[in-house]
Structures are given as structure tokens and as C-alpha cells.
Amino acid sequence: MFKKLDILDEKDPHLRKKSTEVTFPLSKEDKKLIQRAIDHLTYSQIEEYEKKYDLRPGMGLAFPQLGLNKRIIVIVHEIDDETFDNYVVINPKIISESEEIIAAEVGEGCLSVNREVEGHVPRHARVTIEGYDEEGNKIRVRAREELSIAFQHEIDHLDGILFYDRIDPKKPFYREDEIRLI
């Protein structure tokens, strides 16, 4: 039985705290919450379930958004129509990033920010992330374009940063010749 997650609003102080490293083995509660996050994100991207369960579409969640300041992120990336790749990364670190900077043309959104925020968020076009899977095995993920943006967005949550903190108030929008918009 699917039960929608309680996602904290941007005003909650949990979202501004730096999260702590996770130790292994993971607790049963953390493993259950990871699975619930995967279900929530998957359903939110399938129109039929999005409407049925009144979900806002989203592809990523960080544990601080659930009130737990632990360095765990979950990303559900739609690679084909209703076909998804799931990424669960514990204690993620960006170990390399491209010089090329991109931004989502329509801007970024966040399941904790229940309002429209205008502006482009500059992100690296490609990143390599290292961390651990749910069993404590070291993993490495190479992400590009939209997936790269998602990883940077979720890792920011672990450091108390919200996407709109990265929008330049003096220059919220970029032209295509200044930054590649995707």
C-alpha cells in the first residue's frame, strides 16, 4: 500500500543544516525510507499515479527533506517512457566536474519549495560522484546533463543549500551564448 512521504517545506530549519555522514549497516528504518522515496519519486513521474495520489513530480530527494539530516540521496531518473534508473547514494561526494556549465532552461524545482522560483541555476554539465550503496559497497556514478543537475541539486541539500541560493540575484537569467540551456 503506497503512502505519500511527508516532505518538509523550505521554511523548516532541517533544510539549512549540514547533514552527517552515515555509518553502516543501515538501519531497517533507513532502508524502508529509501524504498518509500523510490516509490514516491517513481509514482510522481507517472501521470496516472501522480493524479491518483496527488503528487508533485520530482526526480530526487535527500534525507534532510524528510527531516533526517543524514547524507543519503535518492534519484529516480526516467530514461524511457515509464522506465527508470534508480540511484541511491550514501555519503555522496562529487570527485570531478566538467568545466562546461549548463542550466535547466525552465529553471529548477524542488519538492520542498512549493512556489515558482524564476531564474537559471548554473550547474556542471558532467559530474562524477563517489559514495556507497545501501550495503556499504563503494560506488561511482558518472552523470551528465539532466542527471548531473539532479545529483548536484540533491548533494546541495546535504549541505543546507537550496537551489535558489545559486541563482544570481543580479543576473537571474542567462542567454544561450553565455551558458548552455538544456
Active site residues: 154
**128 close to 95: Cβ distance less than 8 angstroms:** yes
* Whole-angstrom distance, CA of residue 53 vs CA of residue 63: 21
Strand segments, DSSP code E, in 36-146 are 60-62, 72-80, 83-97, 101-103, 123-124, 126-132, 138-144
Give rounded-to-5 percent helix, strand, coil for the chain.
Answer: 25, 30, 45
Tally Cβ neighbours within 10 Å of residue 29.
9
Grid cell of 150 as nine digits: 539532479
